[in-house]
Structure 1
Amino acid sequence: MTDNWTAVAMAFVALFLVGGIVSFLKQGLKKGALLLAALAALATTTAVLWW
């Protein structure tokens, strides 16, 4: 676990971005939510591959 701090950090970034997606959708900003969804997917992929 000591070498996986980057993966854990990226997982938290992905969760933070998911919260942003929910917020953007509530505000009606669909393009922003789509951008955050792509970034969240990249962060999740990074966390899984780093693990």
Structure 2
Amino acid sequence: MNTLSTILIVVGLFFLGGVYSFAKQGLPKGVVVLLSIAAGMALTAGVLRLGVWS
């Protein structure tokens, strides 16, 4: 496992925790959506950097 892919996956999971926390606190939906997009992008980049498909 590459170091950068590990960091991206950990950051994505951290952002997902923030999405859950912010949604539970009742923050504006725009903030929650923006954070969930960032989480999805970080997780996708981390998984794609693993290179297990090629």
With normalisation by structure 2, the TM-score equals 0.82
Extract structure 1 runs of 4+ deviating beyond 2 A: none
| Number of corresponding residues | 49
Counterpart AA for 1:34: V
| Aligned equivalent of 1:32 | 31
Give CA-to-partner distance per residue, 1:1-51, whole Å, 9 cap, x none.
3xx010000000001001100111011122111011100110011101111
**Which consecutive unaligned segments of at least 5 residues does structure 2 have?**
none
Identity of aligned residues (%): 43
TM-score (norm 1): 0.86
Q: CA RMSD in A?
A: 0.9
